[in-house]
């Protein structure tokens, strides 16, 4: 397979990037009254506007040609049909099968995975109803009031992000708490005020070996047993989501209380599986299904829409354009909806763990920047923190702005005030403020010519900062499902275009291995490993002073 830089569309895009460097977005808008109509598209529940990206007709056509030359359609079919496209781990990539509401069968190694998914969904339904109705009883015969979900990375971020996004719809049947950090402070805070008799732990770990999760789970057992004083309490208060039955058994969890996972579901794409169990417990099974339905709508769109109207494909192409061609190495995620406050953290894992790599399918180092650094927070809070950098910093950071037509809770005029900021910020980033406008403004405010000369450069905003805007109907269960699936398919397309193996994460393993060796040094002074002088010095400093 040839390197992407040899494709004719890639080479044409390089020329377009050089030509467009001196073009201002403001001029593109001035030259084309139809720009919004031309560079925006809609699916039920989502408007996507990319007219404030630094593209013109020619660039969009070249990007769509790039998608063709990279055979996105072929790769998409391979993924959906269960081919083992995660070739570094020899696995299929089938998170889409977890939310396939069509009833069609998907086969992996001769096994109908759709049937397996449906069986597991039934199990989630039964369990959720049992716990929420008060029929699941703890060691002292009481119903559950609280769920503590223990897991990290893909076994935490998705469910927690969705739980936060949908908490306006919770009926308070159960409270849900998340523990991901091995810093004991988080577990202690989560357990504060909880009653061991009425607390259910969901330990989510695909492997059931992740050190942070297992440490938290063991401490949770100690907390439970200190009150229960009977080993049998573990089975009544712990369930697991895992592929590793041997380990869950050894932990004391009964097989029937283990929700299964499959190797064809990557951790960061797993919220649609039993990893989403805390969502179902918190909001009810129907709400969980609605999240899957929203995602399935987007799967259908991704498979069926023309390339020029295909939102995830366009998102990926624009990211590649901004990063690999225009050289913008960061990307901000800016939700103007408090419900989505965890989305930036969630997408950090989604995009950076998937595509934050630098070798192509063939193992050769790629000659282009792959994915940007993903960061962000809710837009309004960001405005009062880092937007200064977005407007006037000397690095350009393309941004995704996300808002909703309808707030989850209507309070006076809050939503219009929120949305006025959403509209104003993308307009300001696009247009900026030139010297003439600043001079006019300062003159109107009565400033002298000397004062204006002193202030002018500081008040100019260059603008020309690319943004995409998303307007969701509402952040409800379907809306969250749609939004996450859009980004998942963006990540998939990005990986194919950049020739990155999106579904492994070898880069996470190195640190894990070193940490477990150092752990032994910290527990036992007799154990020492060779280190560089900095690491050795830091370890020695810590060991000499720790309490």
Name the residues that contact ligand F6P, by CB under 6 A: 152-155, 205-207, 210, 213, 267-268, 353, 505, 508
How is the beta sheet containing 146-150 ordered, strand by strand? 175-179, 146-150, 199-204, 238-242, 258-260
341 an active-site residue?
Answer: no
- Output the smallest distance, CB 255 to ligand F6P, in A: 19
Q: What is the CA radius of gyration of the chain?
A: 26
The single residue of 167, 189, 512, 543 carrying the catalytic annotation is: 512
Shortest Cβ distance from residue 429 to ligand F6P (Å)?
33
**Catalytic residue selected from 34, 384, 410, 436:** 384
474 is catalytic: no
Going from the C-alpha of 163 to that of each of 179, 217, 291, 426, the distances in angstroms are 13, 21, 11, 28
- CA 336 to centroid of chain Cα atoms: 16
User: Regarding beta strands 258-260 and 330-335, do their DSSP bridges make them parallel or antiparallel, or are they unpaired?
Assistant: unpaired
**CA distance linking residue 370 with residue 352, whole number of Å:** 10
Active site residue 353: yes
Q: Pick the closer one to ligand F6P by CB: 228 or 274.
A: 274
Please, which residue, 205 or 378, has the CB nearer to ligand F6P? 205
Calculate helix-pair angle for 285-304, 477-498, nearest 10 degrees: 40
Tell me the closest approach of the beta carbon of residue 204 to ligand F6P, in angstroms: 6
Q: Which residues contact 446 (CB under 8 A, 6 or more apart)?
A: none
Give me 537's structure tokens: 């010095």
Using alpha carbons, select from 474, 154, 484 the residue that is nearest to residue 311. 484
Q: Which lies closer to ligand F6P via its Cβ, residue 180 or residue 310?
A: 180
Task: Strands of 276-353 (E only): list them.
Answer: 330-335
Question: In the bound complex, which residue of the shown chain has the CB atom lying closest to ligand F6P?
Answer: 267
Q: How far is the CB of 81 from ligand F6P (least distance, A)?
A: 24
Q: How far is the CB of 75 from ligand F6P (least distance, A)?
A: 21
Q: Which of 297, 353, 489, 490 is catalytic?
A: 353
Judged by CB, which is closer to ligand F6P: 136, or 346? Answer: 346
The DSSP 8-state label assigned to residue 138 in this structure reads -
Residue closer to ligand F6P by CB (options 212, 337) is: 212
Distance of alpha carbon 416 from alpha carbon 406, whole angstroms: 10
Q: Which residues are catalytic?
A: 353, 384, 512
């Amino acid at each position: 397979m040839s390197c992407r830089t040899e494709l004719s569309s890639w080479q044409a895009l390089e020329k377009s990037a050089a030509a467009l460097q001196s073009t201002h977005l403001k001029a593109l808008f001035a030259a084309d009254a139809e720009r919004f109509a031309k560079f925006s598209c809609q699916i039920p529940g989502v408007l996507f506007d990319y007219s404030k990206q630094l593209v013109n007709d020619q660039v969009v056509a070249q990007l769509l040609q790039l998608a063709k030359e990279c055979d996105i359609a072929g790769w998409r079919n391979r993924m959906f049909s269960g081919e083992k496209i995660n070739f570094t781990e020899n696995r299929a990539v089938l998170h889409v099968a977890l939310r396939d509401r069509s009833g069609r069968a998907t086969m992996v190694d001769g096994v109908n995975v759709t049937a397996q998914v449906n069986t597991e969904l039934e199990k989630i339904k039964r369990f959720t109803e049992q716990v929420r109705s008060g029929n699941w009883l703890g060691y002292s015969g009481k119903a559950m009031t609280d769920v503590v979900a223990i897991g990290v990375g893909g076994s935490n971020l998705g469910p927690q992000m969705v739980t936060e996004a949908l908490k306006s719809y919770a009926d308070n049947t159960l409270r849900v708490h998340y523990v991901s950090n091995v810093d004991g402070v988080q577990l202690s805070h989560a357990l504060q005020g909880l009653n061991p008799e009425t607390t259910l732990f969901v330990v989510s770990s695909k492997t059931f070996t992740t050190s942070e999760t297992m440490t938290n789970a063991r401490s949770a057992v100690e907390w439970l047993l200190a009150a229960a004083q009977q080993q049998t309490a573990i089975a009544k208060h712990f369930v697991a989501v895992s592929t590793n039955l041997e380990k869950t058994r050894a932990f004391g969890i009964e097989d029937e209380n283990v929700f299964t996972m499959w190797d064809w579901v990557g951790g960061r794409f797993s919220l649609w599986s039993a990893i989403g169990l805390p969502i179902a417990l918190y909001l009810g099974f129907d709400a969980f299904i609605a999240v899957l339905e929203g995602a399935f709508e987007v799967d259908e769109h991704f498979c069926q829409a023309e390339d020029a109207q295909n939102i995830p494909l366009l998102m990926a192409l624009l990211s590649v354009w901004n990063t690999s061609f225009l050289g913008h190495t960061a990307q901000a995620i800016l939700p103007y909806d408090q419900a989505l406050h965890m989305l930036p953290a969630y997408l950090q894992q989604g995009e950076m763990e998937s595509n934050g790599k630098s070798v192509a399918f063939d193992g050769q180092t790629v000659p282009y920047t792959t994915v940007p650094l993903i960061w962000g927070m809710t837009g309004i809070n960001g405005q009062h923190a880092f937007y200064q950098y977005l407007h006037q910093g000397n690095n350009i950071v393309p941004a995704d702005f996300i808002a909703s037509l309808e707030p989850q809770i209507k309070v006076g005029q809050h939503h219009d005030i929120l949305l006025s900021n959403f509209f104003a910020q993308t307009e300001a980033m696009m247009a900026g403020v030139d010297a003439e406008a600043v001079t006019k403004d300062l003159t109107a405010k009565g400033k002298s010519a000397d004062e204006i000369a002193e202030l002018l450069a500081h008040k100019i905003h260059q603008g020309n900062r690319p943004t995409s805007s998303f307007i969701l109907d509402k952040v409800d269960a379907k809306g969250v499902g749609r939004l996450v699936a859009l980004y998942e398919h963006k990540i998939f397309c990005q990986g194919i275009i950049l020739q990155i193996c999106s579904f492994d994460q070898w880069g996470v393993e190195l640190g894990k291995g070193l940490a477990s060796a150092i752990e032994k040094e910290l527990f036992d002074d007799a154990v020492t490993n060779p280190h560089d002088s900095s690491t050795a010095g830091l370890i020695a400093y810590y060991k000499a002073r720790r309490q």
